[in-house]
Structure 1
Amino acid sequence: MINFQKSSIIFGKKVTQESKDAVKVSLGIDKEGGEGTYLGLPECFSGSKVQLLSFIREKLQGRMQGWFTKSLSPGGKETLMKSVAMSLPVYAMSCFRLPKDTCKRITSAMIESWWSNEKDKRKIPWVAWKTLCRQKDLGGLGFRDIGQFNQAL
């Protein structure tokens, strides 16, 4: 069963208006789409992938810098980062190969939230991020390298 009020059609740039109108009439769908999101990702990918996928970093920063993160212990922060920061971009990474700049920005947001308790206030990172990305039995905390994780997906 198709809900025609919720359905929309996406056309390419080279499709003429007459063809668009004919397809809309034959299918019974009036709306043209492409501007919204589906399963958290933009419906249409046009232009820069870096700009389109920048919402991941913004969403990540919003969730990692909430009022409650200031009162978390390091163990609580680790759990929060693994459950939110590591899982938030998984669907996008399973669909697309993220640009290196986007991976760097996501990693930067994770580093910032790990070492800092307040927004726009930086602290000294006492341990390199690559060390924290090692397995726990090798002296790390088990965080995933976003670039490598994206490659694996």
Structure 2
Amino acid sequence: MTGLKINYNKSVLIGVNCSNEEVELACKMLGCKNGSLPMNYLGIPLGANPRRIETWKPVIRKVEDRLKGWKSRYLSKAEKLVLIKAVLNNLPMYYLNLFKMPKAVATKITSLQSRFFWEKSDGMKGMAIVSWSLIQKPKSHGGLGVGDLVLTNAALLFKWWWYFDKKECPL
């Protein structure tokens, strides 16, 4: 009805519990390529083990790349706080919705955030005045409201359990 057609030249067929011969035959019939897991689909690594740090490297790289573009020596603590809360905390959300984040990845991202926040105006490593756990606490509990990625990850994953329990899954 819409006139959309499948572009088989861009399509990939991945066989699951099939022999290579069967997959090759299907690929020839459809005119598509033979693929294998792991692969990326819509930015999510299919077939990759989310418990391995290697799977999370693109997320860590995004955070590091974003920090490289910001000149922290020209920013006040308030401006750094806004950037951490608005940008850095939201970069891994897509992954956090689907996978449980390993502790090492959470530690790495938190360390990048804290290093950026405490960096001095001359670009040198600064001294932390208060603990990062206090900064992560909500404002109502005396913190700055940065949030904890581990708790955010748990909440997002529990959301799926709740959807499936209520049988109201949006998918």
TM-score normalised by structure 1 residue count: 0.84
Structure 1 or 2, whichever has the larger Rg, is: 2
The 1-side partners of 2:21 and 2:57 are apart by 36
Root-mean-square deviation (CA, aligned residues, Å) is: 2.4
Call closer, same or farther: CA 1:127–1:47 in 2, change over 3 Å: closer
Amino acid at match of 1:106: I
Displacement after TM superposition at 1:38 (Å)? 2.9
Equivalent AA in structure 2 for residue 131 of structure 1: L
Secondary structure of the residue that 1:3 maps to in structure 2?
coil
Distance 2:72 2:101 in 1: 27
1:9 is aligned to 2:13: yes
Q: CA offsets per residue over residues 48-90 of structure 1, 9 Å max, x none?
A: 6211112211210221232433311212111111111110000
Contact 1:37–1:43 (CA<8 Å) still a contact in 2?
yes
Among 105, 109, 112, the residue aligned to 1:106:
109
| Contact kept in structure 1, 2:101 and 2:153, CA below 8 Å | yes
1:76 aligns with 2:79: yes
> Conserved in 2, the CA contact under 8 Å of 1:64 and 1:81?
no
Residue of structure 2 aligned with 1:97, choices 96, 100, 111: 100
Q: TM-score, normalised by structure 2?
A: 0.76
Equivalent AA in structure 1 for residue 26 of structure 2: V
CA contact (8 A) 1:57 1:109 kept: no
Consecutive unaligned residues of structure 2, counting only runs of 5 or more, are 157-171
* C-alpha contact 1:65 1:113 (8 A) present in aligned 2: no
Residue number in structure 1 paired with 2:32: 29
Q: Which residue number corresponds to residue 65 of structure 1?
A: 68
Give the SS at the match of 2:12. coil
User: Which is further off, 40-49 or 105-114?
Assistant: 40-49
Count of residue correspondences: 151
